[in-house]
Amino acid sequence: MTAKYIPEPFRIKSVEPIKILTPAEREQKLRTACYNMFHLAGEDCYIDLLTDSGTGAMSVHQWASIMEGDEAYAGAKSYFKLMESAKDVFGYDFIQPVHQGRAAEKVLMPLLLSEGKFAISNLFFDTTRAHVILSGGRPLDCVGELAKKPKQRAPFKGNMDIAKMEETIRQYGLQNIGVVVLTVTNNAAGGQPVSMQNVRDVAAVCRRYGIPLCIDAARFAENAYFIKRDEPGYSDKSIKEITREMFGLADMFTLSAKKDGIVNIGGLVGVKDKNSSIIAGIKVNVINNEGFITYGGLAGRDLEALAVGLQEVCDEHYLRYRVGQIEYVGARLDEAGIAYQSPVGGHGVFIDAAEMFPHIAYTEFPAHTLAVELYRRGGIRCCDIGSFMLGNDPDTGEQLKAEFEFTRLAIPRRVYTQAHLDYVVDTIIKIKEDAKNIRRGYRIIWEPDLMRHFQAHLEPII
């Protein structure tokens, strides 16, 4: 298969200059950043693939709506516009804006979990995992075995393993399970989608046991696009119809709008049933942590941009280009024989760094090693989704071994061109050719207790 690029369904109206530093300057920047990609300055990165979160380009319609922002403290016009848009997309009665995804988790998780409780997921995203732990609970992952085989191409590798989920419920005791979180797409497994059948099966188990089902919805539209394209019976349904069916099977959702909301800041909490007793608790937590319920930590203009973004992300021409762009990178990596979580997911490519550096142990963070190398050689910023991100066991303090050692190239929405992506792939190919000479990884010289990858200081092992 030769790599094919699907042309952008938009043209460029405003440009943002970027520059590339010299190799010596980049080496210096790495040292000052303590080899942590999050400590590099954005303007020192030529191509920034650290995350697809909040890094998308807004449309002319979103920028125009920003001028319409109503900044009233309570009951702003922009709030009602967002409610109308979000209810149209998700079909839920209760929608609460918050400032981003983790704020939604902070507001919701303590209402479902406490000391001694457990939460089950098809793989927790790092902030969701942290909020489970901060609420006193413990996270349990039940992703299907397919997700653990990066080379095995299959649709819907993000699915929950239903048998494992039921076994986990029995093992930990039904009364101790506070919530089931279904992450769509499954970010930590490489942006792999979850099928509608799997959502249906998970929902049936939750209903049978009376456990609330929460969708971690950051990439709901990309997931809906995969269902439309790859799941029998959905090719004639619209993205919104698929989204409403998916969310209709769950009880609640948390959403980072910085992904499929195509905004730079924003999030939502949703509850399907307007009579649910959890809504009162959500409102109290929002007022205490985020602000009044009609703005939830956002400015009126942010609510406007999100109302428009939620509609734009459901456009199939956009989604075809979006997923097509990621598939283009995957096809070029195939040609070069570079392993990644395949097929590619919705928002990026997850390179199998354990395969590229088989001689570097998980305790030396092979995926982080590749991330550092991409900056060193190409000014490209990306990050580890592996043992470095996973961190230590909260009870024993020991380094955990991740299922995967992925280096994530997250592609911002509507930002980079084909030539940018070619440059990234060419740089990876050069690193692969030189992989044997990259002998050792990194050691942590300082780390905080939780979510250490954002802040830790590292040094190369020589």
Ligand X SMILES: *Cc1c(COP(=O)(O)O)cnc(C)c1O
Catalytic residues: 73, 125-126, 216, 218, 259, 453
In the complex, the smallest distance separating the C-beta of residue 412 from ligand X, rounded to whole angstroms, is 13
Looking at beta carbons only, is 98 or 338 nearer to ligand X? 98
Query: DSSP state, 119?
Result: E
Q: Tell me the site size for ligand X, rule CB under 6 A.
A: 15
CB 23 to ligand X: min, Å: 32
Least distance (Å) between residue 102 CB and ligand X: 3
What's the CA gap between 103 and 213, in Å, rounded? 18
Question: Which two tokens mark 36?
Answer: 């942590």
Whole-Å CA distances, 197 to 144, 183, 193, 288, 460: 14, 15, 12, 38, 46
Q: How many CB atoms lie within 10 A of CB 263?
A: 27
Which CB sits closer to ligand X, 102 or 381? 102
Nearer to ligand X, 267 or 330 (CB): 267
Query: Please, what is the angle between helix 239-248 and helix 220-230, to 10°?
Result: 110
Rg of the chain (C-alpha set): 21
Here's the x/- map for ligand X, 5-44, by CB under 6 A: it reads as ----------------------------------------
> According to the binding rule CB under 6 A, does residue 107 interact with ligand X?
no
> Which of 267, 296, 330, 379 is the binder for ligand X (CB under 6 A)?
267
Shortest Å, Cβ 200 to ligand X: 20
The nearer residue to ligand X, 18 or 451, going by C-beta atoms, is 451
The C-alpha atoms of residue 56 and residue 59 are separated, in whole angstroms, by 10
Q: Give the span between the Cα atoms of 215 and 96, in whole angstroms.
A: 15
Stretch that binds ligand X, among 7-15, 24-32, 120-128, 237-245 (CB under 6 A): 120-128
Could you tell me the smallest distance in angstroms from the CB atom of residue 268 to ligand X? 10
Least Cβ distance, residue 53 to ligand X (angstroms): 5
Contact 219, 347 (CB under 8 A): yes
> Given candidates 120, 218, 221, 421, which one binds ligand X under the rule CB under 6 A?
218
Does position 131 bind ligand X by CB under 6 A? no
Closest by Cα among 175, 376, 345 to 259? 345
222 binds ligand X, rule: CB under 6 A = no
- Which of 55, 65, 121, 187 touches ligand X by CB under 6 A? 187
3-class SS of residue 112: helix
**Strand arrangement, sheet containing 177-183:** 94-98, 267-271, 252-256, 213-216, 177-183, 118-121, 138-141
For the CB of residue 290, give the shortest distance to ligand X in the complex, in Å: 12
Is 125 a binding residue for ligand X by CB under 6 A? The answer is yes
Judged by CB under 6 A, the residue of 106, 129, 258, 301 near ligand X is 258
Q: What angle do CA 21, 24, 28 make, to 5 degrees?
A: 90
Give per-residue burial for 135-146: e unless 16+ CB within 10 Å, then b.
bebbbbbbbbeb
126, 400 contact by CB (below 8 A):
no
User: Can residue 128 be called a binding residue for ligand X (CB under 6 A)?
Assistant: yes
Residue nearer to ligand X on the CB measure, 100 or 369:
100
Residue 290 in the binding site for ligand X (CB under 6 A): no
Q: One symbol per residue from 75 to 104: x for binding ligand X (CB under 6 A), - otherwise; what is it? A: -------------------------xxx--
Per rule CB under 6 A, is residue 223 in the interface with ligand X?
no
- CB-CB contact of 356 with 432 (8 Å): yes
Among 36, 65, 127, 294, binds ligand X (CB under 6 A): 127
Contact between 183 and ligand X (CB under 6 A)?
Answer: yes
Out of 48, 141, 161, 216, point to the residue binding ligand X (CB under 6 A): 216
| CB-nearer residue toward ligand X: 122 or 427 | 122
Helix H or strand E encompassing 316? helix 316-336
Q: Which residues contact 420 (CB under 8 A, 6 or more apart)?
A: 47
* CA dist 178 → 334, 397, 421 (Å): 42, 24, 42
264 lies in the site for ligand X, by CB under 6 A = no
The contact mask relative to ligand X for 238-257 (x = CB under 6 A, - = no) is ------------------x-
For 43-80, give one letter per residue: b (16+ CB within 10 A) or e: ebbbbbbbbbbbbbbbbeebbebbeebbeeeeebebbe
Dihedral angle sign, alpha carbons of residues 357, 358, 360, 364 = positive
| Pairwise CA distance, residues 193 & 115, whole Å | 31
CB of 275 to ligand X, least distance (A): 27
Nearest residue (beta carbon) to ligand X? 101
Residues near ligand X, by CB under 6 A: 53, 100-102, 125, 127-128, 183, 187, 216, 218, 256, 258-259, 267
